[in-house]
Chain A
Amino acid sequence: MLPAFKLLEPNTIEEACRIALDTDGMFLAGATDIFVAMHGGALFPETLISLAKIDALRDIRKTDQGIFIGALTPHRYFEFNQVMKTRYTAIHEGCAQVGSPQIRNRGTIGGNLCNGAPSADSAGPLLVFDAVCVIVGAAYERTLPLREFYLGPKKTALRKGELLKSIYLPEPVSRSASRYIKFTRRNAMDLALLGVSAYLALDDSGGIADARLALTTAGPTPIRAGEAERRLIGHKPCDSLFSEAAAIAENESLPRTSWRSSKEFRLKLVKSLTEKALREAFERI
């Protein structure tokens, strides 16, 4: 059995936040990160605050400008949903590569972000779609761009008593496309050794109107490669431009050596995968 804990199962967001404020309880979503840590002896929470009974965290709501997706939405949704496949392709590609079908049926988008892992497969793709976090506390709600959500390794901008309610995704413009490349040592059930997400939008004359790049496992947190993006915007897309931007992205990344890979290899990957992701995003437009 898992180490003993006290289980609380609030029915509303307000109740969940209040409990989190008053106790040292930890939110429990799909449990695919928490139980692995508990089973491995790395985590012994006294209290778990299950979010399972809070239906409001499963809401998916379309507006004119975009879509709100509840934090409890499992990866499987992004894997199968047609809008995700066609308009938010990189997010679909990221979530469809998390663990296995069994993990994707339980693991949630909120848990993937709040766990704070630099390798989270949804993080880079969400970053290039300019995702916004809707965060709630006991008596308030605030929004924060995902870019500002990650503060350090395993550290997010969530304060005590706050939970992630949903993710807001602005509607992508019409002449745009995206690509997520996850580099792993084997084809299944592996965390990203490096992840590159690219989003490109073209103007009427075929120039790059908007470019966004995100890198995962290329530093202590998922990051946007802002300088590389600026190099791309306003220019005609071509291989040499992509290659130049990729070299800048390599400079912007801060990978470290881990048992999965050396820092040097990760830097080489940033360069080659950024080029590839840009090229393949462009080919999709």
Chain B
Amino acid sequence: MDWRDVTVYVNGDEYTKTIPVQMTLAEFLRDELFLTGTKIGCNEGECGACTVILDGVAVNSCLVLAVHADGKNVLTIEGVSEGELHPLQQAFLDAGAVQCGFCTPGMIMTAKALLDRDPAPSREVIRKEIEGNLCRCTGYNRIIDAVEKAALMLQKR
């Protein structure tokens, strides 16, 4: 097997590991760092459960090699709260946007990347932005409500 040393900055912490090149970023986060908030649903870019923010943009961590995160910043669901829950996390709870919760980390990372770029998105923009995140439980409307609520909370800050 082809192995590499990588240093990845995850949620502000530096991690150096020796890993095989075929390891995906999702596997690296879960199996090497034990950050199991990032979920693996399909492993092929369809479900969005594995979404993390890589150098500022949302990506499917199942389609990124861990070695390609070498030297880069990764933000996962474990890194979004700042002491208390992040407004997105709070709004998801308040709006009833969490049922089984499997899609929630990915949804929140996609929503965070959106709000970082566009602090006041319309419902249409939110709906389009979460097109790559599947949810089998909520019917999506409450998730869109939650992202809207979180945007308002963040704007008031």
Q: In residues 1-43 of chain A, which contact B (Cβ within 8 Å)?
A: 1-7, 30-32, 35-36, 39-40
Contact of A189 among B4, B24, B132 (CB under 8 A): B132
Main secondary structure of the interface of B (DSSP, over half): mixed
- Contact yes or no, A102 B46, CB < 8 A: no
Per-position 1/0 for A127-159, Cβ under 8 A of B? 000000000000000000000000000000000
Count residues of A near B (Cβ-Cβ below 8 Å): 27
Cα–Cα distance between A101 and B63 once the two chains are bound (Å)? 13
Contacts of A102 in B (CB 8 A): 45, 48, 51, 58-60, 110, 132
Please name the residue on chain A nearest to B52 by beta carbon.
A102
Which of B64-72, B82-90, B95-103, B144-152 interfaces with chain A? B64-72
B57 touches A (CB below 8 Å): yes
Q: Is the CB of A2 within 8 A of B60?
A: no
Give the residue name and chain of the B residue nearest to A50 (CB). B68
Minimum distance in angstroms from A32 CB to a CB of chain B: 6
Residues of A within 8 A of B114 (CB): 101
Task: Summarize A's interface: helix, strand, loop or mixed.
Answer: loop
The count of chain B contact residues (Cβ–Cβ below 8 Å) is 33
Tell me the nearest residue of chain A to B23, going by C-beta.
A1
State A111–B121 Cα separation when bound (angstroms). 30
Smallest CB gap from A30: residue in B: B63
**How close is B155's CB to chain A, nearest CB, in angstroms?**
22
**A52 within 8 Å of B by Cβ?**
yes
CB contact list, A207-235 vs B, under 8 A = none
Indicate if the CB atoms of B21 and A101 lie closer than 8 Å. no
Q: Is the CB of A35 within 8 A of B44?
A: yes
Q: Which of A91-116 contact B (CB under 8 A)?
A: 99-103, 105-106
Contacting A39 at CB < 8 Å: which of B43, B48, B129? B43
Q: Which single member of B2, B22, B63, B110 contacts A32 (CB below 8 Å)?
A: B63
Identify 23 residue pairs between A and B in the complex whose beta-carbon atoms are under 8 Å apart, listed by A's number.
A1-B24, A2-B22, A4-B22, A5-B2, A6-B2, A7-B65, A7-B67, A31-B64, A32-B45, A35-B24, A39-B43, A39-B44, A40-B44, A52-B68, A99-B45, A100-B132, A101-B110, A101-B131, A102-B58, A102-B59, A106-B64, A187-B131, A188-B131
Q: A76-B57, A189-B131 are in contact. List 8 more A-B contacts (CB 8 A).
A: A1-B23, A7-B2, A7-B67, A31-B65, A100-B48, A100-B131, A102-B60, A189-B132
